[in-house]
C-alpha cells in the first residue's frame, strides 16, 4: 500500500513538472509566449545574465565581470527612457549618452559599451541574439571589461526594453566574482 501511494505521488510530481509542448503557429514555428517579469525576479534575472555572460567570456578567454550597482542603475534608467521614447537607441530623451548616464550614477570607471534591445524575449534569448551580432558580441566579450550593468523595463503590453552596460575599473576596486 505504501509503495503504491509513493508511486502515485511520484507520478503526480513528475507529471506536474512536465513542460507542455509549445503551440505551433500556421508558419510551423512555435507561437511566442508572453514573458512576464515580476519585480521579485530582478536579482534572479541579473544573476542569470551575469552567469551567462561570464560563461561566454570564459569560453572566449576573457576574464569574469561582476555586477555593478551603478551600471545597473544606468541600464534601468535607459530602459525606461527607451520605452518613453518608443525607440531603441543609445541616446536618452534628454540627449544623454551612455557615458553621461554612467557618470550620473557615480560609475568612476571607463564605460566600454552598451547593448540595447526592444523585444518580447527573455533575458537569455536577448543575450543569445546579442551574441549573434559582431558589434554587440564585442561589447559582451571585451577583454578589458570588469563591470556589468543589466536592467530592463517591461510595458503593460509585455514589450521589454533591455539594456546592458559594460565597463572597466570602477573605483570600488573589488575583485570580479
Would you say residue 131 lies in a domain? yes
In the prediction, which pLDDT does 9 show?
Answer: 41
Instruction: Tell whether the model's pLDDT for residue 71 goes beyond 80.
Output: yes
- Supply 55's cell numbers: 560563461
Confidence of residue 31 (pLDDT cuts 50, 70, 90): low
CATH of the domain at 54: 3.40.33.10
In the prediction, which pLDDT does 20 show?
Answer: 55
Q: Which of 11-15, 56-60, 100-104, 151-155 has the least mean pLDDT?
A: 11-15
In the prediction, which pLDDT does 22 show?
Answer: 63
In the prediction, which pLDDT does 89 show?
Answer: 87
In the prediction, which pLDDT does 63 show?
Answer: 98
Q: For 14, left (φ over 0), alpha (ψ -120 to 50), or beta?
A: alpha
Number of structural domains in the chain: 1
Mean pLDDT of the 88-97 span: 91
Mean pLDDT of the 37-65 span: 93
- Supply 69's cell numbers: 550597482
Neighbours of 56 (CB within 10 A): 17
Instruction: Tell whether the model's pLDDT for residue 167 goes beyond 90.
Output: yes
C-alpha dihedral (49, 52, 58, 63), degrees to nearest 10: 0
Contact in structure between 68 and 147 (CB atoms under 8 Å) = yes
Confidence of residue 21 (pLDDT cuts 50, 70, 90): low
Contact in structure between 79 and 117 (CB atoms under 8 Å) = no
Q: How far apart, in whole angstroms, are the C-alpha atoms of residue 153 and residue 172? A: 27
Would you say residue 71 lies in a domain? yes
pTM above 0.95, yes or no: no
Q: How far apart, in whole angstroms, are the C-alpha atoms of residue 171 and residue 82? A: 28
Phi, psi for residue 50 in degrees, rounded to 5: -55, -45
Would you say residue 7 lies in a domain? no
Would you say residue 20 lies in a domain? no
Would you say residue 29 lies in a domain? no
pLDDT tens-digit series, residues 107-166: 999 999 999 999 989 999 999 999 999 999 999 999 999 999 999 999 999 999 999 999
Domain range holding 124?
Answer: 39-168
Q: How far apart, in whole angstroms, are the C-alpha atoms of residue 36 and residue 158? A: 7
Instruction: Output DSSP code: residue 37.
Output: -
Instruction: Output DSSP code: residue 40.
Output: G
Would you say residue 33 lies in a domain? no
Strands 110-119, 147-154: pairing kind: unpaired
Mean pLDDT of the 37-42 span: 81
Would you say residue 45 lies in a domain? yes
Would you say residue 111 lies in a domain? yes
Amino acid at each position: 500500500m505504501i509503495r503504491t501511494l509513493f508511486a502515485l505521488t511520484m507520478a503526480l510530481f513528475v507529471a506536474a513538472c512536465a513542460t507542455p509542448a509549445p503551440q505551433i503557429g500556421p508558419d510551423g514555428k512555435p507561437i511566442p509566449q508572453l514573458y512576464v517579469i515580476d519585480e521579485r525576479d530582478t536579482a534572479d534575472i541579473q544573476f542569470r545574465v551575469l552567469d551567462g555572460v561570464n560563461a561566454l567570456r570564459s569560453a572566449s578567454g576573457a576574464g569574469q565581470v561582476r555586477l555593478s550597482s551603478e551600471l545597473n542603475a544606468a541600464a534601468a534608467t535607459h530602459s525606461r527612457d527607451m520605452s518613453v521614447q518608443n525607440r531603441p537607441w543609445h541616446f536618452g530623451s534628454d540627449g544623454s549618452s551612455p557615458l553621461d548616464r554612467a557618470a550620473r550614477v557615480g560609475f568612476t570607471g571607463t564605460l566600454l559599451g552598451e547593448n540595447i534591445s526592444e523585444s518580447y524575449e527573455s533575458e537569455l534569448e536577448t543575450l543569445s541574439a546579442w551574441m549573434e551580432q559582431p558589434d554587440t558580441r564585442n561589447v559582451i566579450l571585451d577583454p578589458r571589461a570588469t563591470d556589468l550593468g543589466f536592467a530592463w523595463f517591461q510595458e503593460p503590453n509585455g514589450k521589454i526594453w533591455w539594456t546592458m552596460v559594460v565597463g572597466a575599473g570602477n573605483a570600488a576596486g573589488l575583485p570580479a566574482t
